[in-house]
Structure 1
């Protein structure tokens, strides 16, 4: 059972986490291992597995990037440890940001603030072309071409997130 089926949701690239939280607590209560302490070992093992599946699904839904990754993997458009080739222009921009980040480490907070702003702008720039696709995804209607654009966005965002981690 996939995560969307588990939470009785339509497949979506962007989920309402607050609405999902209610369903999560409902499922957690229903499948909490403590309620099955007197059940057979087989039932206890099944419940434990179900509870772990529920937790993993909720963790995925709480992270927008992980939700996108999950949907793309379900569609077999993305593979774990895939060697995705990002466009050279994007990589050049990221190299420039990385250099700015290295310089800011020596120059102080003013330059660091400028680099953070550049990163925020880069994030908006990569999201803009796929915003409508992500926010209006419809199972069976959104084309594979559009999903491949989302895949590129996913990898660009992943790259940008690695740079952002250096700032923290």
Structure 2
């Protein structure tokens, strides 16, 4: 349970803010052969406070919970997107195109295509994970650079770029948090630097209780109980985020994703503590 002194301190806070910064990288360009822009992906940074640090700053009048150095994927404008095979000039019928249907040569990546299209998935938060993994394995077996070690320099380069793009798409869509942030970007939501989302006291207290319970857990059974509760919380948040995105309630989705980040961090702490009992 949260101590009375912490409750009094939290009750006196004037502002509880959670800052989410979404920063996009400058477009990078491949060699002269192609010119699609490249965007980088970095997950939300871990929250910078714990129940122990909260006690240490109990006399302060404000608590800032910052999620700093946040980057999400942003669809960048591109130029000269390939529409013909670079080798035989056969026009493409579909996008993305990994191999020419005529000469079977590997093609340069089209980074203007969404990650959902690359992984042949619906652009929705509730993905078919089995289908996602199956698609990933199929593409990597086909595009892995080792398969092109005896090919021309162009084919080796394109296979490496294609393989890297598939890895990026898969890793982004695999995790609910990065998948949700990516969907927000696709839906046109810009979160400017310095934008705050209010954190209500009830949610803050819940996080404090969980962190303190985890610190005080003495057995694997106690720790596993926290793990199961956290997984249940994450499952509920996943359903709520999916509903919010389907309804176009992007602000609600953003706030729920912020909550998901905190519970994901708790889940990681639980895993570390359980490994300590082994």
Q: Verify the 8 A CA contact 1:14 1:67 in the aligned structure 2.
A: no
The equivalent position to 1:40 in structure 2, one of 152, 170, 188, is 152
Q: Say whether 1:91 aligns with 2:204.
A: yes
Distance 2:200 2:178 in 1: 25
TM-score normalised by L of structure 1? 0.72
Distance 1:62 1:34 in 2: 24
More strand by share: 2
More helix by share: 1
Distance 2:205 2:135 in 1: 43
* 1:132 alignment partner in structure 2: 243
Q: CA deviation at 1:64?
A: 2.5
Q: Verify the 8 A CA contact 1:69 1:78 in the aligned structure 2.
A: no
Q: Say whether 1:156 aligns with 2:267.
A: no
Deviations 1:120-159 (A, max 9, x none): 554456456445346xx3xxxx42xx22222211110111
| Closer/same/farther in 2, CA of residues 50 and 127 from structure 1, 3 Å limit | closer
| Closer/same/farther in 2, CA of residues 121 and 37 from structure 1, 3 Å limit | closer
Deviations 1:27-82 (A, max 9, x none): 22332223323333233212101101112222233323332222223335366x98
When structure 1 is superposed on structure 2, of 154-163 and 109-118 the one drifting more is: 109-118
TM-score normalised by L of structure 2? 0.47
Q: Say whether 1:24 aligns with 2:136.
A: yes
The equivalent position to 1:14 in structure 2, one of 95, 107, 126, is 126
Write out aligned runs for 1:136-147 (5 A): 137=246, 142-143=247-248, 146-147=249-250
**Residues paired across the two proteins, number:** 157
Aligned residue for 2:197, secondary structure, equals coil
Q: Verify the 8 A CA contact 1:32 1:51 in the aligned structure 2.
A: yes
Q: Verify the 8 A CA contact 2:230 2:263 in the aligned structure 1.
A: yes
Distance 1:8 1:122 in 2: 29
Aligned residue for 2:122, secondary structure, equals coil
Write out aligned runs for 1:54-73 (5 A): 54-73=166-185
Q: Verify the 8 A CA contact 1:101 1:112 in the aligned structure 2.
A: yes
Distance 1:60 1:124 in 2: 18
Q: Which has the higher contact order (CA 8 A, sep 6+)?
A: 1
Q: CA deviation at 1:97?
A: 2.0
Q: Verify the 8 A CA contact 1:86 1:156 in the aligned structure 2.
A: no
